[in-house]
């Protein structure tokens, strides 16, 4: 009897854990799908002014990235030309 109870307890424990994990995974998938649908709906219903504002915000972020990359490229080119890192940042050449 004891062996059967032990096996039954293990089977029940594994079953409950599997059901819980499956439910959590399925629920997370449903939530993700709902969020995607909500975002798509919001984009469709957005006014032209809201779309323009969103695009301008994205553009400003991209411009900031571009400026940072251009600065890094200029510093790298200056260092390759023989300047130290501090001289490259200030724009002076070593003498």
The DSSP element (H or E) to which 94 belongs, if any, is: none
pLDDT confidence bin for 90, thresholds 50/70/90 = low
Per-domain boundaries in the chain: 1-45, 47-94
Q: How many CB atoms lie within 10 A of CB 49?
A: 8
Which tokens hold the place of 57? 């915000």
pLDDT grade for 2, boundaries at 50, 70 and 90: confident
Q: Does residue 38 surpass a pLDDT of 70?
A: yes
Amino acid 79: pLDDT = 86
């Amino acid at each position: 009897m004891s062996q059967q109870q032990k096996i039954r307890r293990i089977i029940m424990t594994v079953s409950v854990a599997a059901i819980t994990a499956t439910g959590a995974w399925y629920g997370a998938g449903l939530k993700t799908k709902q969020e995607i649908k909500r975002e798509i709906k919001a984009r469709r219903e957005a006014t032209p002014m809201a779309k323009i504002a969103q695009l301008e915000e994205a553009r400003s972020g991209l411009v900031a990235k571009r400026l940072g990359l251009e600065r890094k490229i200029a510093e790298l080119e200056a260092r390759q030309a023989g300047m130290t890192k501090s001289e490259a940042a200030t724009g002076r050449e070593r003498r």
